[in-house]
Chain A
């Protein structure tokens, strides 16, 4: 495994938790994001994720660096899966270790927010009667260069 990676196979979260665990860590937060069946009343059959893999891995690593600079003593590992994912599959895993609990929680949430801002990974929802690429989840674009 790599500390920051895009993968095509099922994610085993324990691998990433083990990677960040070390003697000085008193807390490990492990976030797993899963494929959800229902979104605002629309039923998803499955999801398809696509990534610009080299840039995505670079940006995941950047997020790790941001966290380790912002919260001293943290260690981070992140993986995102691409390809076709079924309901309840793990799409993303974020493991953060730190000396204390609060930092591990905060840093972990920061990581998922940043993923949704800067990491070039795209999700397509496939429904019973159609499909759609899902756009920016944090802000509504107005068109043109951002």
Chain B
């Protein structure tokens, strides 16, 4: 399983901060497609994806146990 984490505005859109899905072996791009189908408002957030606390590329392949975070535009400082 892959552990998904949502933050800030995206968390409010999904209604959950975490969930698990069975997408090991699939790419970040495929995960993104899954998320935007499940959560139609997702694109408006223009999120980046982090895998195990590093920003990922769309072509990166997910592995069992990965922690994947959807990172909406950051606004610290």
Q: Which residue from chain A places its CB closest to the CB of B5 in the assembled complex?
A: A52
Q: A142-B46, A144-B43, A145-B49 are in contact. Are A119 and B8 (CB under 8 A)?
A: no
Q: Tell me the residues in window 8-62 of chain B with beta carbons closer than 8 Å to chain A beta carbons.
A: 8-9, 12, 28-29, 32, 43-44, 46-50, 53-55, 58
Interface contact tally, CB-CB below 8 A: 90
Q: Report the contact-size class of chain B (Cβ under 8 Å from the partner).
A: 20 to 34
| CB of B31 to closest CB in A, whole Å | 10
Interface SS of chain A: helix, strand, loop or mixed?
mixed
Q: Are A115 and B76 in contact (CB under 8 A)?
A: yes
Q: Are A123 and B75 in contact (CB under 8 A)?
A: yes
Q: Are A133 and B69 in contact (CB under 8 A)?
A: no
Q: A50-B7, A52-B69, A124-B8 are in contact. Are A144 and B46 (CB under 8 A)?
A: yes
Which residues of chain B come closer than 8 Å to A137, judged between CB atoms?
75, 77
| CB of A98 to closest CB in B, whole Å | 21
| CB of A113 to closest CB in B, whole Å | 9
* Complex alpha-carbon distance, A94 and B58, angstroms: 33
Which residues of chain B come closer than 8 Å to A33, judged between CB atoms?
77
Q: Which 4 A-B pairs have the closest CB atoms?
A: A141-B46, A121-B76, A136-B73, A122-B8
Interface CB pairs A-B, < 8 A, 10: A52-B5, A52-B53, A118-B55, A119-B74, A120-B76, A133-B75, A134-B75, A136-B46, A136-B74, A145-B48
- For the complex with contacts A116-B77, A136-B74, 11 further pairs of A-B residues with Cβ separation under 8 Å are A115-B76, A115-B77, A117-B74, A118-B55, A120-B50, A120-B69, A122-B8, A122-B76, A135-B75, A136-B75, A145-B58
> Which residues of chain B have a CB within 8 Å of any CB of chain A?
5, 7-9, 12, 28-29, 32, 43-44, 46-50, 53-55, 58, 69, 71-77
